Amino acid sequence: MYKISVIMPVWNSERYLAEAVESVINQTFTDFELIALNDGSTDQSLQILKNFAQQDQRIKVISYEHQGYSPLLNLGLSMAKGEYIARMDSDDICTPERFEKQVEFLDNHLDYVAVGAQALRIDPEGDPIAYIDFPLDNDAIDTSQMNGKGKIMHPASMIRKKVLLEINGYRPEFEPGEDYDLFLRLAEVGKLANLPDVLLKYRMHTKNVTVKKKEHHQQVKQQALQEAYERRNLNQKTVPTILINDSPNQESDFRFLWMEMALSHGFYQSARKNAWLGFQAKPFSQHSIKSLILGFGGILTSYSRKIYHNYFPVFRQKS
């Protein structure tokens, strides 16, 4: 019997998988099992998992033919021996104290069924891009969800297994929006919270499911929201319309998006790197040249502003 069962679906994640598993193994809270569910990977993911399992008996590796995300999550849930379910994706990174802080919260707040955390977006190379701020209290989280916005990050969440089983787990028909549907239903049987701490590094890359299937993602989220309004006997005419994710489609455009995010959050080295990589991916595009100039110009402006505030406090106070 474990306090936590960590459920991690894995599909062709060899580039990031070792770092993700190590971040689980290195938790300060050690009473957990890691259920790694290989979804028919065709790269070295399965071998990487087996190597970890040989070194740590808490790691269980189960391999299936490729079937999708939600069925695997339900399979993991049926195998879990822990009181709490911690979700983890195979391309993200936990901070060492994540499990300790979330267990402490759930142990001390029995009316809460799930807890998330704040997160830091990182790029494919693991460099910081931007912080993601989520509301802390139940009312703010549920209000936002009912307005069409998910406000608990699925791979940063910890959920009471008993409650997950009571609501019949994940609904595969809502994939890739199964997490949004799940937290809408969880909010109807208990309270939700987010901790103020940054406990997850959330990796951005062009193979994210919500990027590849953004139109279908919007459709299933809309259906989940519609059903939530019906379950709560709310006016169907007031159901908000969820917009399609307007993320880019090409690698170069993603790099410039990440550059802008990094620049606005003060991660200048990441901004400079992503601006250059975006330019290299599409060097003769007018948009690429403009974005490169904007990126480096913004970095220089930010540095100038920082120097001004640090070294000329008298002039700053007068301005």
pLDDT in tens, 57-99: 999 999 998 888 899 999 999 999 999 999 999 999 999 999 9
Assess contact for 316 and 309: CB atoms under 8 A. yes
123 and 202, same domain (yes or no): yes
Do the domain assignments include residue 245?
no
Do the domain assignments include residue 246?
no
156 and 278, same domain (yes or no): no
Q: What is the domain-level CATH number for residue 56? A: 3.90.550.10
167 and 287, same domain (yes or no): no
Determine the residue type at 246: D
Assess contact for 3 and 73: CB atoms under 8 A. no
35 and 123, same domain (yes or no): yes
Per-residue pLDDT, 276: 85
Per-residue pLDDT, 146: 96
Q: Comparing C-alpha atoms, which of 4, 3, 9, 2 is closest to residue 175?
A: 9
196 and 276, same domain (yes or no): no
Per-residue pLDDT, 227: 97
Query: Between helices 178-186 and 214-231, what is the axis angle to 10°?
Result: 20
210 and 259, same domain (yes or no): no
Tens-digit pLDDT profile for residues 287-312: 556 566 665 555 555 544 444 344 43
Report whether pLDDT(36) > 80: yes
- Name, in order, each residue with C-beta under 8 angstroms of 55's C-beta and a sequence gap of 6 or more: none
Per-residue pLDDT, 237: 85
Query: What's the Cα-to-Cα distance from 11 to each of 15, 77, 215, 243, 245, rounded to whole Å?
Result: 11, 18, 22, 28, 23
Do the domain assignments include residue 219?
yes
Per-residue pLDDT, 86: 98
80 and 145, same domain (yes or no): yes
Do the domain assignments include residue 40?
yes
- pLDDT band, residue 280 (cuts 50/70/90): confident
Last residue of a domain, one of 185, 209, 236: 236
Percent of the chain's residues with pLDDT above 90 = 71
52 and 154, same domain (yes or no): yes
Do the domain assignments include residue 242?
no
DSSP code string of 39-55:
ES-SSSHHHHHHHHHHH
Last residue of a domain, one of 236, 266, 287: 236
119 and 265, same domain (yes or no): no
- pLDDT band, residue 21 (cuts 50/70/90): very high
Across residues 8-17, what is the average pLDDT? 96
Cα radius of gyration (the chain): 21
Helix (H, G, I), strand (E, B) or coil at 83: strand
Give residue 275's domain range.
251-318
Average pLDDT over all residues of the chain: 89
Do the domain assignments include residue 160?
yes
Last residue of a domain, one of 207, 236, 265: 236
Do the domain assignments include residue 241?
no
Do the domain assignments include residue 243?
no
Tens-digit pLDDT profile for residues 140-194: 999 999 999 989 999 999 999 999 999 999 999 999 999 999 999 999 999 999 9
How many structural domains does the chain have?
2
Per-residue pLDDT, 303: 47
Helix (H, G, I), strand (E, B) or coil at 140: helix
112 and 188, same domain (yes or no): yes
113 and 168, same domain (yes or no): yes
112 and 215, same domain (yes or no): yes
CA atoms within 13 A on the CB side of 54: 6
Per-residue pLDDT, 278: 86
